[in-house]
Amino acid sequence: MKTTRRWRQYAAASLALALATTIAACGSSDETTVTADGKTELRYLSQPSVVTTPELAADLGYFTKVALKSVGETSSGPTSIQAAATGDADFGAAFNGAIVKLASAGSPIKAVVDSYGADSQTFNGFYVLDGSPIRKARDLIGKKVGINTLGAHSEFVIREWLSREGLSKDEIASVQLLVVPPINAESALRQGQIDVGAFSGIFRDRALAKGGLRVLFTDAVFGDFSYGTVVVRNDFIAKHPAEVKDFTQGTARAIRWLQVTPRDQVVARFKKILSSRGRGEDPALADYWKSSSIPTPGGVIKAAEFQLWIDWLVRNGELKSGQLKPADLYTNEYNPFDNGTYPPTSGPDGKPAKAAS
């Protein structure tokens, strides 16, 4: 019952957000700022100790018409895209299932490029203690699972896995999903406050290095797959098509740079960025980077990346059949890799991007 109430609260919040978005869109003015060198500033929420692909693109010199301006921090994808939808930011990035839910409530957003995925090196895993009796999906009935936020990647993935493993809707609803910040997930698991913890990146590597954990399943259940995208408001696209095109092509080229550049060079670049932006972040965290995790060159979006979660929401009665289709949610119009003919690692002047110093 608690889980059902949480989903209803999330849906209600999404609807309220959509209404607020519509009101704001009708009465707001274009508040973009132009920098001294003539670039349009794009506002966004940054992620602590993370170098996102738009930030990498800016550092590589891949933008010619836009510049980035962080207006806050968040580790929550839904918060990031809500900020974009309400006009508090100009772009955001989140799990595609969360984007589908927000769009279904009427929020006028469009995905323009992939932001993250899963592969053999970079993935989200669900872990238990070595001595845990939990070994299969049915063992999770009535148990507590710690995830970073509700209504996003981990929640959708675990519910999809439980469904594929044969659990009924009521059995799935009995699995308690608790919000646990990633930095606290390991201690919560080891202290018995949760039965399963969702780990990725540095938090997974650190936890596994200490030992005593066993993987239950990972989001590789879907194979190499892009799970999230970068979104922009429809009205912003209409007002600034050249800027959105520049932002998308630069971000796509940064993704491709990650896909083709040796790991040591990527890590060095990330350390330089983390050290230079003055947020008190530890550059050593970049050592945990393993791969771009995005399977398509330049982050070209595939319809299946949205169709999977549309189908999921339809099955769960949260979306009407035919209410949304993938083409309503994304466009590859601005991604130069959609035809596979764009140079992957050169700067705007045609010269190779500068190496990290």
Closest alpha carbon to 118 in 309, 295, 301, 300? 295
Q: In the predicted model, what is the mean pLDDT of the chain?
A: 87
> Is the pLDDT score of 45 beyond 70?
yes
* Spans of all domains in the chain: 40-120+225-328, 124-218
Q: Which two tokens stand for residue 79?
A: 């918060």
Domains 40-120+225-328 and 124-218 share a fold: yes
Rounded to whole angstroms, how far apart are CA atoms 192 and 113?
39
Q: What angle do CA 77, 153, 323 make, to 5 degrees?
A: 90
3-state secondary structure of 64: coil
pLDDT tens readout for residues 147-156? 988 877 889 8
Q: Which two tokens stand for residue 114?
A: 């992939």
Q: Residue 278: how many CB atoms within 10 A of its CB?
A: 7
pLDDT tens readout for residues 59-111? 999 999 999 999 999 878 889 999 999 999 999 999 999 999 999 999 999 99
The top-scoring range by mean pLDDT among 22-31, 128-137, 281-290 is: 128-137
Instruction: Kindly list the distances between the CA atom of residue 63 and the CA atoms of 67, 130, 138, 157, in Å, as whole numbers in the listed order.
Output: 7, 48, 49, 34
What pLDDT does 345 receive? Answer: 56
| Cβ pair 91, 247 in contact under 8 A | yes
Q: Which two tokens stand for residue 280?
A: 């008190």
What pLDDT does 172 receive? Answer: 95
Q: Which CATH superfamily is domain 40-120+225-328 in?
A: Periplasmic binding protein-like II (3.40.190.10)
pLDDT tens readout for residues 182-204? 889 999 999 999 999 999 888 89
Q: Which CATH superfamily is domain 124-218 in?
A: Periplasmic binding protein-like II (3.40.190.10)
Q: Which two tokens stand for residue 47?
A: 């992620």
Burial of 112 (0-12, 13-18, 19+ CB in 10 A): buried
> Is the pLDDT score of 346 beyond 90?
no
Position with higher pLDDT, 3 vs 144: 144
* pTM of structure: 0.82
pLDDT tens readout for residues 222-279? 778 899 999 999 999 999 999 999 999 999 999 999 999 999 999 999 999 999 998 8
